[in-house]
């Protein structure tokens, strides 16, 4: 199911009401000209899965948190911020994985250059 970034929270809330009570994963995919956020929700009673995608233009990488509905989203959202550069409003901004990272480039983006020194200069 595809939704817009403006409707993401509402879409997740509706699915939660329908019984999608477990957040299986959140990740992103880099298509070079845009990113796509992917949310995988699971209904434990009906044993069914719902995949939500949100297309994000490369110059507007911002989403709202869903951690108030799914507590496990906190970890995935922090990872998306660090690894893809997608800002999650209303989420914990504390670093999760890359404490010494300069934050200028994102390791899971296609433009990332492996081997370059990305550590903060002290």
Read off the pLDDT band of 67 (50, 70, 90): very high
Contacts of 10 (CB under 8 A, 6+ apart): none
What is the arithmetic mean of pLDDT over 4-14?
Answer: 97
CA distance 122 to 114: 21
pLDDT top residue among 44 and 122: 44
Q: What was the pLDDT predicted at 114?
A: 72
Q: Give residue limits of the domains in the chain.
A: 2-89
Residue of 98 and 56 predicted with greater confidence? 56
Q: Who wins on pLDDT, 108 or 98? A: 108
CB-CB contact of 61 with 80 (8 Å): no
Token code pair at residue 33: 């000209």
Instruction: Write down the pTM of the prediction.
Output: 0.87
114 or 58, which is more confident? 58
72-103 pLDDT, tens digit per residue, is 999 999 899 888 999 999 876 676 666 666 55
**47-62 core/surface letters (b: 16 or more CB in 10 A; e: else):** eeebebebebeeeebe
Whether domain 2-89 has CATH 3.30.460.80: yes
Contact 2, 53 (CB under 8 A): yes
CA dihedral 82, 58, 67, 5 (to 10 degrees): 180
- Which of 14-18, 95-99, 111-115 has the least mean pLDDT? 95-99
- φ, ψ for residue 96, nearest 5 deg: -110, -45
The helix (run of H) or strand (run of E) holding residue 77 is helix 73-84
Average pLDDT along the chain: 88
Catalogue the E-assigned strands of 1-122. Answer: 2-3, 22-30, 34-43, 48-57, 62-64, 87-89
* From 9-23, 32-46, 79-93, the region with the lowest mean pLDDT: 79-93
């Amino acid at each position: 199911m595809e939704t817009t970034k403006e409707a993401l929270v509402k879409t997740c809330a509706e699915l939660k009401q329908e019984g999608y009570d477990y957040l299986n994963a959140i990740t992103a995919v880099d298509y070079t000209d845009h990113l796509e956020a992917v949310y995988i929700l699971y209904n434990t009673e009906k044993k069914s899965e719902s995949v939500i995608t949100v297309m994000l233009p490369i110059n507007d990488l911002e989403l709202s948190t869903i951690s108030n509905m799914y507590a496990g989203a906190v970890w995935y959202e922090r990872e998306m911020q660090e690894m893809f550069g997608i800002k999650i409003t209303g989420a914990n901004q504390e670093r999760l994985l890359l404490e010494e990272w300069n934050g200028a480039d994102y390791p899971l983006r296609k433009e990332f250059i492996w081997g370059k020194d990305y550590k903060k200069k002290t």
